Structure 1
Amino acid sequence: MKVIVLGAGVVGVTTAWYLAKEGHDVTVIDRQPAAAMETSFANAGQISPGYSAPWAEPALPFKVMRWMFSRDAPIAIRPRIDFAMMRWLRQMMANCNAHDYDINKSRMLRVAEYSRDCLDTLRRDTGITYDDEQRGLIELFRTQKQVDHCAHDMRLLEQAGIAYEFLSPDDIIRHEPGLAENRHLLRGGLRLPGDESGDCHMFTQRLAQKAEAEPGVTFHYETAVEALDATATDIVGVRTTAGRMVADAYVVAMGSYSPLLLRPLGVRLPVYPTKGYSLTLPVTDPARAPLSTISDANHKVAITRLGDRIRIGGTAELTGYNLRLSRDRRRLLELSFSELFGAGGDLSQGAYWTGLRPSTPDGTPIIGPAGRFGNLWLNTGHGTLGWTMACGSGRLLADRISGKRTDIPCLDLSLDRYIPN
């Protein structure tokens, strides 16, 4: 079968890799000059299945009200006349209850754990490296309220069979000695030993090179996707700046831009961009720098060691497709790092970046067929967990397109869950 994959971010490239391994001819189309040049370029670096949780939690509406008056709010909503954003917010708020939170978190954990296993196999089979470490993740708590709230998530982790351990401040320092000078800020931590870290951009570019060496795989860079041509039941071609291309099946993996492509076909995709930021800086004092990856629950910021660099990522803004760099967001990233690791890295040399995460209202990605079109498939909506879920999502979709039985249940990941009964 000939398959066209639209998008060469980490989700599109992993999808192409697994499709090629199933023997399909694969064409990947992306408007950038190389793979992973947009949202996959400088994300937080975490591969964190154990940390997978939806933003739509019962307490979120109250938190949003409080954050509206704070410059350092981890989530910021910029007022604008945007019906897509308002519809997405309404759907997300409808998921802010205990029942839906548990369902959504369990789905996310299922995909993320499976994806980590797929990545382990891929790394072993290919020998690919990407400044990767398998040292686990620690979520740091600075208040007793955060410690108390963690109890519910630990129950869900137990139910999902995911290993974890609660850490005292002294335990945290044993795992991350760079925090020793700021021990007074710590109240506890949740360690997820199965989580990992690595450079998503490096991984995606190296995997794209390996995929392109496979028989029948072609990448078309600097080629913008203009529209999909369709009959009432099938896609019959894709119009690009390099001309029209045809295939037997089509995969939309264009992240936050997927809804814009599908809207003219009458496919309403509940994906909206949540803008995130990162700083990448050199390590200046290894003894005071992180060894692996830290999640600062106070500021919702992730701090990850990537070889001789440190990646600080986090915050979220609902501001449409705006890619302007915000001074306030940079200040928040710098604040989290300076409070915890001080002189471990040089903030003055930080490379500042922003990207648009494709987020669904319930936090779970959309993996599966696209409505009435029998040969159109979706792999998008991973939010902040695209790197965490990429390999598993790509493998799931490749198996479904190939007519194979999937390793984990996946029917509840499709677009159908948003269609009223």
Structure 2
Amino acid sequence: MKIAILGSGVIGVTSAWYLAEAGHEVVVIDRQPGPALETSFANAGEISPGYASPWGAPGIPSKALRWLFMEHAPLILRPQADMAMVRWLLAMLANCTEAAYHVNKSRMVRLAEFSRDELIALRTRTGIAYDERSLGTLQLFREQKQMDGIAKDIEVLREDGVPFEVLDRAGCIAAEPGLANSAVPFVGGLRLPNDETGDCFKFTNALADMAKAKGVTFLAEHSIKRLVSEGGKITRIETDKGNVSADVYLVALGSYSPHILAPLGIKLPVYPVKGYSITVPITEEARAPVSTILDESFKVAITRLGDRIRVGGMAEISGFNLDLPPRRRATLEHSVGSLFPGAGDLRQGTFWSGLRPMTPDSTPVIGPTSISNLFLNTGHGTLGWTMACGSASLIASRISGTTPPVDPEGLDITRYSN
């Protein structure tokens, strides 16, 4: 079959690779001049299946109110006259129950663990390189009450068979020696030794080059206008440079996916949640992180990428806004500067923002739609890099009509109509 993929971020490109491996003719269409130039460009860099947790959780509404007034706030809300924002917020709040949290986290961890294994297999058979490391992830707690609140996460990790370690301060320093230089009185951490790190931009572009060698066509700088439906099927994509026709169409447009689907009568509850990052050159190797540290207090990830440190985080609900306020950079610098003082030159850090495509239950939407030849692979939120290979393998099986490699229960759009 000929398959047209809308979007060339990490989700679109991995989907193209797996579909090409399955023997399909694939074309990828994107408005950007190259792959991974939007949300996949400078994300936090961690591949952390065990930390795949829903944003909607018990206690989050009260925590969110406190976060909004912190100096280095992990959550920023810029209210607008936007009903999509209101609907998304209300739906997310409805997921802040014990029952919903358990279901959503289980689905997320199932997909994320499979995806990590798929990435390892892909790396083994292709030799793809992207500043990757396999040294685990450490969730660092600055306060004892944070440490005391990990019971429900540990329960899910145990149920899903995910290895973990609960560490005291000394154990955290043993895992991340650079923390010995920090004056922060952190109390301990939760470490997942099987997690990985890597540069999503480098990975996506390397895989795109490999996909091209396999016959995949990339149509860059093609602005997608609409999907045309006739007789209950999609018949073509209209772009500013002409039409593209295929047998099957896959939407992987991240936060922009609802815009292309709405005229077709498909309501996809994905909303952009803005994140920020800085990328800092390492100046003192012994003071730098060796893998990923999740600073729980500020919801910031600090990741080693080759000779750089990527610091990413925060959640800003402000629509399709990509501005770069200095106070957001200050939060990232405060997190890495307090935990790894002197590790990198913060003045030389490059500042970036991207729009994460979030669903209200934090679980991506992967699978068919009510239109027979239209499929979705979108809504991964902060976990597009973590879930990319698993999502691509799953959607390739759904499109090809083969047995899914991972349980697809609860991962397609029908969960919102039930």
Tell whether the structures are fold-level matches, with TM greater than 0.5: yes
Q: How much does 1:272 deviate?
A: 0.2
Q: Which residue of 2 aligns with 1:55?
A: 55
Indicate the SS of the match to 1:40: coil
**Residue 183 of structure 1: CA displacement?**
6.0
Work out whether 1:397 is the aligned partner of 2:395: yes
Match of residue 12 from structure 2 = 12
Q: CA RMSD in A?
A: 0.9
Report SS of the residue matched to 2:407: coil
Q: Is the 8 A contact 1:271 1:360 kept in 2?
A: yes
Contact 1:290 1:305 survives alignment (8 Å):
yes
Deviation of 1:408 (Å): 1.4
Paired position in structure 1 for 2:161: 161
Residue in structure 2 matched with residue 298 of structure 1 by the alignment: 297
- Letter aligned with residue 360 of structure 2: P
User: When the two structures are aligned, how many residues end up with a matched partner?
Assistant: 418
- Please report how far the alpha carbon of residue 186 of structure 1 lies from its aligned counterpart in structure 2 after TM superposition: 1.6
Q: In the aligned structure 2, how far is the partner of 1:237 from the partner of 1:14?
A: 22
- 8 Å CA contact 2:10–2:385 kept in 1: the answer is yes
| Aligned-partner Cα distance in 1 for 2:231–2:98 | 40
Q: Within 2, Cα distance between the matches of 1:77 and 1:177? A: 36
Q: Deviations over 1:321-365 (max 9, x none)?
A: 011112221111011011100100110000000000000000000
Instruction: Give the stretch that moved more between structures: 119-128 or 319-328.
Output: 319-328
Cα displacement (A) at 1:184: 5.0
TM-superposed deviation, 1:69: 2.4
Q: Does 1:94 align with 2:107?
A: no
Q: How much has 1:79 moved relative to structure 2?
A: 1.1
Partner SS for 2:372: strand
- Write out per-residue CA displacement over residues 362-406 of structure 1, whole angstroms, 9 at most, x where no aligned residue: 000000112x20000000000000000000000000011000001
Instruction: State the AA in 2 paired with 1:185.
Output: P
Match in the other structure for 1:323: 322
In structure 2, stretches of 5+ residues that fail to align are: none
Instruction: Give, as a single letter, the amino acid of the residue that structure 1 aligns with 2:410.
Output: D
Secondary structure of the corresponding residue to residue 416 of structure 1:
helix
Report the residue type matching 2:412 in the other structure. S
Q: What amino acid sits opposite 1:301 in the alignment?
A: V
Q: Residue 354 of structure 1 aligns with which residue?
A: 353
> 2:130 corresponds to which residue?
130
* SS of equivalent residue, structure 1 residue 167: strand
Distance 1:153 1:403, change over 3 A: same
Measured against aligned partners, the alpha-carbon deviations of 1:224-275 in whole angstroms (never above 9, x if no partner) come to 1110000252111000112001000000000000011111111111000000
Q: Alignment partner of 1:358: what SS?
A: strand
Aligned residue runs from structure 1 range 215-254, under 5 A: 215=215, 217-254=216-253
Residue in structure 1 matched with residue 344 of structure 2 by the alignment: 345
Q: Contact between 1:282 and 1:345, CA under 8 Å: does it hold in 2?
A: yes
Aligned twin of 1:379: 377
Q: Give deviations 1:90-134, integer Å, cap 9, x for gaps.
A: 110000000000000000000000000100000000000000000
Structure 1 equivalent of residue 417 of structure 2: 419
Give the match for residue 281 of structure 1. Answer: 280
- Alignment-mate amino acid for residue 232 of structure 2: T
Q: Distance in 1 between matches of 2:231 and 2:159?
A: 43
CA contact (8 A) 1:169 1:183 kept: no
Where structure 1 has 5 or more consecutive residues not aligned to the other structure, the ranges are none
Which amino acid in structure 1 is aligned with residue 179 of structure 2?
L
- The CA distance in 1 between the partners of 2:327 and 2:376, in whole Å, is 35
Q: Counterpart of 1:272?
A: 271
* Paired letter, 1:191: R
One-letter code aligned to 1:247: A
2:249 aligned partner, one-letter code: Y
Amino acid at match of 2:189: G
Aligned to 1:409: 407
What is the CA–CA distance in structure 2 between the aligned matches of 1:98 and 1:151, rounded to whole Å?
A: 13
